[in-house]
Amino acid sequence: MSCELPEFEIDALSPAKEIVAYEYLWTKFPTVKKISDFFRKHNHISPSLLTDVLGVNSETLLELRQKLDRLYSFDCFTALFFRDFEYPNRLREAEHPVEVLYSRGNLDLLSSKSVSIVGARNASSAGIKRAAKLARMMVENDFTVMSGLAAGIDKVAHQAAIEAGGQTIAVLGTSLDEYYPKENRILQDRIIKDFLVVSQVPFYQSKNIPFKQKRWFFPERNKTMSALSEATIIVEAGETSGTLTQARAALKQGRKLFILDSCFNSGLDWPDRFLKKGAIKVVDGSEIVETLGYESRG
């Protein structure tokens, strides 16, 4: 897909300079917690000031800048920094807030009222139907549908929202230059063109760590998705599903957590565990609209 955003100027105050510095810091603080704690300790000052604190020389950063530009040209995306006015307040409430959120598409969608519809990658036919029905219902009630662009429930939620004439946001577990799974490439490009795709995954770090380490970006993605949305709706999930990471994060972050009634008939333990912790059982979807509508009016 071609890039349509203007190329950044490389000067003392440029976003490109800050992105390069941020990507470098990931090589020194290579987990979400470590880099978040580092920025919090330094009161979220700019990445370039922090590389100065560490004594990183300009040649090192220039070399990294050239590598990054070959990976994904700087004119292809935008970046929201923690101190930016446009940075979503919802995300600041996360336990380990993302310092830089990369994006392509319509950033205005981040300020819309949104719900996450998530669930199993290997979804059942019944689960797929339920996800599509929920997405349409959320669109009818003026909610933006957010999901993780994975196979199964996520894909259906995005597609149903688009088909219903609504808005959708994809929160990736990979860097912006990747398509995962590859069969979602057309859908991902469509969301970039007409809606919004965001990612917290650093480009350089993602390309230079073993595949097994990259998988940890996915549960972190779920935490971010929970923080960005007003509520999380679980359609179906296994006992070890990454979706449960988002469920835990939603409750911890003070977000509503809705679980479809069908999950309680699956023979799994997790639905009852979360129900006891404050989740809401959903029978026909009206509970979601009523709960969130009441809170919006309040």
Q: What pLDDT, in 10s, does the model give residues 188-230?
A: 999 999 999 999 999 999 999 988 889 999 999 999 999 999 9
What CA–CA distance (Å, rounded) separates 298 from 294? 6
Quickly state the pLDDT bin for 160 (edges 50, 70, 90).
very high
Residue 8 lies in a domain: no
Contact assessment for residue 213 and residue 239, using Cβ atoms and an 8 Å cutoff? no
161 and 282 co-located in one domain: yes
According to DSSP, the β-strands at 78-81 and 100-105 are antiparallel
81-93: b (≥16 Cβ within 10 Å) or e: bbeeeebbebbee
Residue 88's domain comprises 15-104
Quickly state the pLDDT bin for 148 (edges 50, 70, 90).
very high
180 and 61 co-located in one domain: no
> Each residue of 250-260: pLDDT tens digit?
999 999 999 99
> Each residue of 64-81: pLDDT tens digit?
999 998 888 888 899 999
DSSP letter (8 states) at residue 231: E
Reading the block at residue 17, the tokens are 């300079």
138 and 227 co-located in one domain: yes
219 and 257 co-located in one domain: yes
221 and 119 co-located in one domain: yes
Residue 111 lies in a domain: yes
Contact assessment for residue 227 and residue 93, using Cβ atoms and an 8 Å cutoff? yes
